[in-house]
Structure formats: structure tokens, C-alpha cells
Structure 1
Amino acid sequence: MRTMFHVKHPGANRKGALTALTAAFLLSGCVSFGAKPPSQLLTLDAAQKVPSGASRVAGGGRTLIVADPDAPKMLDTVRVPVQLGPTSVAYVTKVQWADTPRHLFRRLLAETISATTDRVVLDSGQFSGDGGQRLSGELVAFGLDAASNNAVVTYDAVLTTPNGVALARQRFTASQPVGGKIEAGTIGAPINVAANKVAADVAAWAAAVKD
């Protein structure tokens, strides 16, 4: 009986490995390892700022804890919404917020109130046991309205005592024309203007409400 042996050429293993490596490389070109970063990041800039080195002593019940506002899922994102109609929303491409709008707006509120009133503003995460009033609420609108071509910011503010008793509630809203096509390069400034208008109105209101 004759026994037959199949002898593999020494270069076959190297050739097979090279073919597999090439296939893996080509396949990797079709795989996305994360979304493409936006061309722009937006933030808010307070029109009224606390001067460097300014100090203020809390007393007389004038401390105010400013909490992050609540926000619907449509706004609790770094994407910038455009209201196309009563039941239709889209998002502006190639641009995002540097943080979620509710966090950015809280910082804007705190800076504006500190700069324009005698209130000593505290962070709820650091001074939850303080005996001052508390400002909370909901960010109802924070984006663009396609029909009017305006940036729109709406905030439902609630001022409460340290014990949680409501002192006052009011809705504040402001709009600012975009001044061109709604796109990444045109929307940041008008939203910032509208947000500052609302923050200034809330600051004046909070300063006037008494226990």
C-alpha cells in the first residue's frame, strides 16, 4: 500500500496570514469608532459678571440657592433643537452645546443674580443645608423656532423658603432674531442674548420677592 502525504509549501502559512490581515484591515475601514465631533461647541456668556475680587457676606436671609432647572428630554441633551411645528422638532447639525442647557443656564442665572442683586448665591450641591431661599424651576424652551426664525428661551421659575414653601412662581420668556439661515454659525449669539434677557428678568424678580 502506498501512503500519500500532502506537503504544504512553507510560504503558505505566511500567505494565509497576510490575506487574513488584509481582510481585517479592509473591514476596519467600514467600522465607525464613534461619531464625528461637531465643528462647533456653544456655551453661554453672562452679560453681567461679578467683578474679580468682589466679596459679599451672607446675612439677613439674603442667601439664595440656585438649583439646576428640570428640562424635558428634548432639551436635556447637548444637541440644539429647532421647533419646526407644534409636533415636530429637528436638531441643528455640526454644532453642540459644551454642556447640557440646564447646567449652562443655571450658571448663567447664578452669575447674573450675583452681579445685579445683593443676594449671595450658593450652589445647591455644596450648600444644601443653608437657610436661604431656593430658586428652582423648569427650562421649557431653549433653542430655535423655525416659523419666526427666532431663538427662544423660556424658564418657569419657582422661589421657595428653606422649608420648601412656595413664595412665588412666574414664567419668563425672551426671543431674539437669528438674522439669517438657522445653521451652526448663526445660532449661538441669539440664544445667548435671549438667555441673558431671561436671566436678568429672573434676577430682578428674585430680588424683589420677600419671605
Structure 2
Amino acid sequence: MISPANILRRAGLGMAAAGASLALTACISLGAEPPESLITLSATASAPAGAGASAGREDSAAAIAVLTPEVPAKLDVLRVPVNVSDTQVAYLQEAVWIEKPARLFRRMIGEILRLRGGALVLDSDDTPTLAGVSLRGTLSEMSYDAPTSSVVVRFDAVRTDSSGAVLSRRFEARESGVAPEAEFVGPALNRAANTVAGEVADWVLE
């Protein structure tokens, strides 16, 4: 027979365990809090609806393939890197990309090329046509620079034409006086990316 004292002791242990469980639940998050908004890149101008281009086997040189840029590890994430110093990198609080920046930048270049050149532009992984011109490279910066309160976009582009000739060029844009907050950094990065993408498109179409 269980005594009243033992019943009370067991009840007390159960209540203590329940309290500890509730306290643990309050301290542990099973999933990250979703950001209030996501940032993306968008071209300031785009080809109008209905615009198109085509290229067959005979005129495949008219097609331009835009490949996804290589990126360093700090950009191969959905966060916006902050260059704290030459040897330190952090990430900007509450600044989250909707997609990895390399793919966003690739599509931005493709959109500007369509607008300016009227060529068939292949800027997705599905490339049924062998392009005469290809654009690749390394997106080394799409970041916030803390010491100068600026954003920087840097792209080392490599262009290969139908004859096999290879050219490379570095493109960079900066915008200073940017507060280290997502609501300011996101638009500033978009403006800088548009500047770089526009210069790259002009270079490819030379």
C-alpha cells in the first residue's frame, strides 16, 4: 500500500519535471525566426513583354551563354557578408537573400543583355543551343564594408567568343554612406549590382 507521503513525493517530482521541461522549451528554438522580408536583385530596366530572339545551328554565334559566377565561401550563403577588417568577416543582421547572390546576379546580367543586344541569351542551366559567346567569372564581392560604410560589388568577368578568344576584365561598383541595416544595404547592393551588370553587358556586346 502506497502511503500518502509517497503519493505527495511522487506528485512533487512530476511537477518539478514538468516545470523543467517547460523551462527547457522556452530556451530552445526548434527553427529560426523567419526574417520580416527578403532581399533580391532586380534590373532597373528589362526587355518588354513579347520581345524574343532565336538562334539555330547556323547562327549559334548570335547566342550568349551567361554562366553562374564562382563565389568565395562567404558569398555562397543567403546572408550578406560584412567585411569588418582585412581578416574578419561577419554577417549583417536580418539581411537575408531570397536566393544565393550568384544566381541572382547571373539573371540580372542576362536581363540587361536581352534589353541592350537583342541576342538570344541563355542564363539558366537549360542550354539547348551551343552559344557562340560565353560569359563566366568570379563574383568576389557583394558585401557591406564596415570601415568605409559602403557596399561593394566586384565581378571578375571572362568572355569567350566564337573564335575561342578569351578576354577578362574586372568590374567594380561602390556606394558609400550606407547605414549598416538591411533596409539600406539591400537597395544599395541592387544599385551597385545594376551598375556592374550594365558595364559587363556593354563589354560583352562590344
TM-score by length of structure 2 reads 0.85
Opposite residue 167 of structure 2, the aligned amino acid is A
Structure 2 stretches of 5 or more lacking a match? Answer: none
Shift of 1:162: 6.5
Opposite residue 32 of structure 1, the aligned amino acid is S
Query: What is the total number of aligned residue pairs between the two structures?
Result: 200
Opposite residue 96 of structure 1, the aligned amino acid is V
CA contact (8 A) 1:141 1:153 kept: yes
User: What corresponds to 2:83 in structure 1?
Assistant: 83
CA contact (8 A) 1:79 1:91 kept: yes
In structure 2, distance between residues paired with 1:169 and 1:101: 21
User: What corresponds to 1:167 in structure 2?
Assistant: 166
| Structure 1 segment 3-152 matched on structure 2, within 5 A | 6-7=1-2, 12=7, 15=11, 20-58=17-55, 60=59, 61-127=61-127, 130-152=130-152
In structure 1, distance between residues paired with 2:127 and 2:64: 10
CA RMSD in angstroms comes to 2.4
Comparing both structures, which one devotes a greater share of its residues to helix?
2
Shift of 1:12: 4.5
In structure 2, distance between residues paired with 1:109 and 1:136: 11
User: What corresponds to 1:188 in structure 2?
Assistant: 186
Provide the identity percentage: 36
In structure 2, distance between residues paired with 1:48 and 1:168: 27
Opposite residue 101 of structure 1, the aligned amino acid is P
Q: Which one has a bigger Cα radius of gyration?
A: 1
Shift of 1:128: 5.5
Shift of 1:186: 1.2
Superposed CA deviations along residues 70-92 of structure 1, whole A, max 9, x for unmatched, are 00001111111122222122211
In structure 2, distance between residues paired with 1:152 and 1:104: 16
Opposite residue 169 of structure 2, the aligned amino acid is Q
CA contact (8 A) 2:66 2:106 kept: yes
